[in-house]
Structure 1
Amino acid sequence: MQDFKRTSLALTVGGIGGALFFIADLPLAWMLGSMVFSTIAALRGVNLAVNGTLRKIMTAILGVMLGSGFSTDTFAAMGRWSGGLLLLLVSVALSMVLVYIFYRRVGKFDPITAYFSAAPGGLNVMYEVGEAKGGHGPTIALIHASRILILVMTVPLIFRYGVGFAGNDQAVSLFGSIHDLAGDGWLLVATLIGYFGGYLCRLPAYHLMGPLLATAGFQMAGITDVSPPMILVYASQLVIGTAIGARFLGTRFRDIRRVIGLSFVSTTLMVLIAAIFAYFFAESIGVSIAGIILALSPGGLAEMSLVALALGIDVAFVSTMHVIRISLIIALVPMAFSAIERMRIRQAK
């Protein structure tokens, strides 16, 4: 009952923010509005929380929506995306090295905290592993949470008002169509297969990646070509945005503003690297500059894919690159740290 009350309160606060942003015709309104309002409430000590099961269900819906951005033509495009994968690998490595140096020299973080804070993704894993290795867990978590918050608050606004992307929220009917019932049935099948298959295969963020991959497979195979109704997408935006803001419960801005300031600088550095790569290599890869910037930006898989979806920017490419990015970070960053530790121990002997 306590969890229900906290979740209801959180979604009410987030819903008010989302509705106001929607009325103001802001991009990604239900996510941005709910995130801003819930963050303010959490920082002021309002007891907010989002039920974990509800968040997973809504994230699965988002995965289906992202998967529906794939089509039978995606196979042909994947050959060109190999260059994007190389850019992704170089971008992640370069970003992590530069941000690590920044956190050590400017932020004065200890080596372990700086290392796991510098990883451009994988909030939960970086926090858990970093703290277990002796890093300062709260700082690691706050750096990653504020990085996502900063990106989601700024990138959609820059692309909408600075670059002129109008968005595609109206591309799908609010409540769907009676003619899409058969296709919706296939999407439900893909959701169940992806959700439980992802869990059994131990995919990172299985509740998102499983439905995304299964739906993408159905779409590329030509089994279905429909998308979930936008009302479900708005609901997923509301839940995910509110959950981001609720992460800041128990913190006070005056106590964390230095860490957020450091996160802002490091996030800007990472996005600049993405923008430089996009400017020089977009034409050779065959993806828009905006698409590559979103694909290389160090936001969360769900959050940055939602931005691409809301603005209609190379959704399949952005989603694919973020799935690969998160998988690589979760798999390789802790492994690389363990290898470095073993090397140091040998040298000490």
Structure 2
Amino acid sequence: MRAASWSALRRVAILLGVFAAAFVAGQLGTWLHAPLAWMIGPMITTAAITLLFSQRAPPALLRVIGQLVIGGALGLHLTPDAFDRIIANAVPIIAGALILTAAATAYGVAQSRLFGVHRATALYSTVPGGPIEMALLATQNGGDGARTALAQTLRIVFVVLVFPPALTIAAVSAPAVAIAAGGWWDTALLAAIALAAGLAASMVRLTSPFFLGPMMVVGALAASGIPHATHHAGVVPAAQILLGVSPGSMFRRDLFRGAGRFLLGTCLSTAFLIAVSAMVSLILGYLYDIDLATMMLANAPGAVTEMVITAEVLRLDVATVASFQFVRIAIALTLVGVIDRFLKQHRPA
């Protein structure tokens, strides 16, 4: 057998080993009744393996599969009442998005000066958005795409590690209705709908297309009163493993070398954004009578996929969290480019 074939087999074997370890970690977390065990356990385990053995990231297709499964399952929560709540909360949704984006942008500009980081790298690293989307924007504007992706991933990991346990300990979850597991035919039909929706959403360049596309299409069907069961038991935990392994694999050793000041700035920006999001959640929750747990996840500076999954696991208002997160990321992706171009025209990089 050729050397290339042996190398490919070795990579496959190592990847299977990573997922086996991720499964064990998820199962252990379940036995310990840890919140979001099937995503947090694999995330931590994969990060440790990647740092210790310089393991390559798994194929991006695996995260896409996880997003398709979870997006379709969560779309079933978008009932007619949920859509009414989204429309009723239009003002706090936009207000929260603008405040958090403005705060993150201001910190990004300050970080570039205080920590000697290239402005584009600091800006696109600090404003919460998808790691891939922000990394591409940073690269296009002269920044460091790899470090931008790392900073975005670090913040998401920190938020996922902090928010679910904190909300669980505080016992502030709302009484949402759980959706019963379905059979394999239900899984097949839901997966087909999710795939078609994801492909359509990617064609129109929707943010997180393979998550939000299925969620919106299945949600529209649910809001129309078309009944459908969710995936077979075990399918959703498997998808959460795929989503947990993905950010964990970002922790490559080469990205940490010589990045002390940058990582310090990232940690401080995460703490700053969590504090701002908590303040915004308290104020908007009080003004618009939305429960605090839902508002904390809705405004959390994480990623839409992870935050919506957390809302579902904690039985919170999935529709509200999804709408806040989606609008914030859409506004951030739009405004951060405008602000970056403005700064280039008026100040030196």
TM-score interval, smaller chain:
0.7 to 0.9
2:121 counterpart letter in structure 1? T
1:164 equivalent to 2:171? Answer yes
Q: CA deviation at 1:184?
A: 5.4
Secondary structure of residue in 2 paired with 1:323:
helix
Counterpart for residue 309 of structure 1: 312
Contact 2:172 2:293 in 1 (8 A): no
Q: Distance in 1 between matches of 2:17 and 2:176?
A: 27
Q: CA deviation at 1:187?
A: 2.9
Alignment of 1:175-324 (within 5 A): 176-177=181-182, 187-251=190-254, 256=259, 258-324=261-327
Root-mean-square deviation over aligned CA pairs: 2.8
Secondary structure of residue in 2 paired with 1:148:
helix
Q: Distance in 2 between matches of 1:170 and 1:261?
A: 41
Q: Distance in 1 between matches of 2:133 and 2:195?
A: 25
1:125-164 Cα deviation digits (max 9, x unpaired):
2212212322233332221111111111111111112x12
Counterpart for residue 3 of structure 2: none
1:256-283 Cα deviation digits (max 9, x unpaired):
5554443222112111111111212213
Q: CA deviation at 1:313?
A: 1.6
Secondary structure of residue in 2 paired with 1:248:
coil
Contact 2:79 2:223 in 1 (8 A): yes
Gaps of 5+ in 1: none
Please, which moves more after superposition, 17-26 or 323-332?
323-332
Secondary structure of residue in 1 paired with 2:267:
helix
Q: CA deviation at 1:343?
A: 5.0
Contact 1:165 1:311 in 2 (8 A): no
Please, which moves more after superposition, 151-160 or 197-206?
197-206
Alignment of 1:142-153 (within 5 A): 142-153=150-161
Q: Distance in 1 between matches of 2:176 and 2:40?
A: 14
Q: CA deviation at 1:212?
A: 1.0
1:138 equivalent to 2:141? Answer no
2:91 counterpart letter in structure 1? G
TM-score by length of 2: 0.87
1:60 to 63, 68, 90: 68
Gaps of 5+ in 2: 1-7
Please, which moves more after superposition, 11-20 or 148-157?
11-20
TM-score by length of 1: 0.87
1:43 equivalent to 2:72? Answer no
Contact 1:21 1:30 in 2 (8 A): yes
Number of residue-to-residue matches in the alignment: 341
CA 1:309–1:238: 2 relative to 1, 3 Å: same
Secondary structure of residue in 1 paired with 2:53:
coil
CA 1:146–1:177: 2 relative to 1, 3 Å: closer
2:127 counterpart letter in structure 1? A
Identity, % of aligned positions:
22
Q: Distance in 2 between matches of 1:251 and 1:21?
A: 29
Q: CA deviation at 1:304?
A: 1.3
Counterpart for residue 122 of structure 1: 130
2:276 counterpart letter in structure 1? I
Counterpart for residue 16 of structure 2: 8
Contact 2:176 2:316 in 1 (8 A): no
Counterpart for residue 93 of structure 1: 101
1:25-81 Cα deviation digits (max 9, x unpaired):
100001111111111111112424322222211111111122111102123212321
Counterpart for residue 84 of structure 1: 92
